[in-house]
Amino acid sequence: MIRAIVSTWLCFLFWSPPVAAEERVDVALVLAADISYSIGPYELDLQRRGYIRAFRSTDVIKTITSGRRGRIAVSYLEWAGENSQTLVLPWTIIDGFETSYGVAEALTKAPLQRSGETSISGALDTARTLFATAPPADRLIIDLSADGYNNSGDLVEAARARNLWFGITINGLPIVNDDAPDLEAYFRDCVSGGPGHFNIAVSEFDHFAPTLKRKLIAEIAGLGPERVYRANDAPQADCEIGERKVREEYNRQLDDITGGKSERWRWSED
């Protein structure tokens, strides 16, 4: 008798009403765009216009409406340091030209902003919490762009693990530059993950818009990764390179100020 009562209460506590098919979407997609100070005003504008162009693209809209359910949900997150995340666009359903153009218009009107450090871990954690209010979806995806390594907040591998635990896929759009020449490998080994994850790198900001369009089509359609990396394809990237660079710069500046005579204040590896 007691077992039956407990079983009934457990069913009550964890039961949720079934979701009608017309309420589900093919993909719930968080677009997480880097707005740290390493991205200049011109590049910041190019990045935003890349997203705007994508949602005005006939190819992207046809991909959305050709899915099993013919609709997706998107939100747009701009991020920088650990405590610098702004939800520019809350969850919005796209199911055709009108709603897709509406997203583009909302991004056009939103003011541009920049902030300080690069906390990929903070962006991943913030994006993960957004899925709690997302429409029911067959797939959960974070599409994250960045032009540098994680250098603020928690370690990026820990944030990635928290997302993968919930079945979230992280796809990367690394913006490779002279300050981060191995950023594609860093994304491959430290940032992206989950079912069908992939990265597409951008080598020049002028190429951001067409690369983003190609990437959105691939992830909305569920085309999967463009490449399959095996363990012997490349050396494992240093997933704490951003944090190490911050320590090195701090110690360098300290040495310049003190003539190398302030050992007690040096930032150690421990």
CA distances for 40 relative to 47, 127, 192, angstroms: 10, 24, 25
Q: What's the confidence (pLDDT) of residue 224?
A: 65
In order along its 270 residues, the chain shows pLDDT tens digits of: 444 433 333 333 333 344 445 589 999 999 999 999 988 898 899 999 999 999 999 999 999 999 999 999 999 999 999 989 999 999 999 999 999 999 999 999 999 998 888 999 999 999 999 999 999 999 999 999 999 999 999 999 999 999 999 999 999 999 998 888 899 999 999 999 999 999 999 988 889 999 999 999 999 999 865 544 443 455 588 888 766 766 666 556 555 666 655 665 545 555
Nearest residue to 126 (alpha-carbon basis) of 255, 11, 34:
34
Q: What's the confidence (pLDDT) of residue 223?
A: 82
Domain boundaries, the chain: 23-225, 240-270
The single-letter code of the amino acid at 59 is D
CATH number of the domain located at residue range(s) 23-225 in this protein: 3.40.50.410
Q: What's the confidence (pLDDT) of residue 3?
A: 40
Q: What's the confidence (pLDDT) of residue 261?
A: 59
